[in-house]
């Protein structure tokens, strides 16, 4: 999404090309660790050079999509599931490693026992 402003055209989110040439410390001002910055740059570079064809995720099932995303440094199960939920709109995916989300789900469903990762998937599968 391009945004017009007094400084010219900007983007709501940076494009991979915008991130690929940065160094990891450039992300510190946004609260990212050196390692997270490095991971973002690696992913941006993979998008630019064609190694990461993220548009292909839409054609893969959930498990294959998660496995594809886990190939990238810094992407864990929570991040991969979050991409499927928010980025691809797959409402049948719930990031079960998110403790806050698990607690909210437990409360919303009026469950007595805490949920673990597998428990989240059991209750959301219904």
Residue numbers annotated as active site: 98
- Residue 54 CA to residue 59 CA, distance in Å, equals 10
Other CB atoms within a 10 A radius of the CB of residue 117 amount to 15
* 52, two tokens: 């990461």
Antiparallel, parallel or unpaired: β 2-5 and 8-11: antiparallel
Other CB atoms within a 10 A radius of the CB of residue 95 amount to 19
- Residue 109 CA to residue 94 CA, distance in Å, equals 15
Cβ proximity of 84 and 93 under 8 Å = yes
């Amino acid at each position: 999404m391009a945004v017009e402003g007094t400084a010219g055209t900007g983007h709501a989110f940076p494009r991979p090309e915008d991130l690929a040439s940065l160094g990891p410390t450039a992300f510190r001002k946004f609260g990212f660790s050196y390692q997270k910055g490095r991971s973002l740059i690696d992913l941006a570079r993979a998008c630019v050079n064609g190694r990461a064809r993220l548009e292909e995720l839409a054609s893969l099932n959930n498990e294959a999509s998660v496995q594809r995303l886990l190939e990238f440094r810094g992407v864990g199960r929570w991040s991969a599931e979050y991409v499927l939920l928010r980025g691809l709109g797959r409402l049948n995916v719930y990031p079960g490693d998110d403790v806050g989300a698990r607690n909210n789900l437990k409360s919303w469903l009026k469950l007595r026992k805490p949920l673990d990762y597998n428990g989240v998937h059991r209750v959301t599968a219904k």
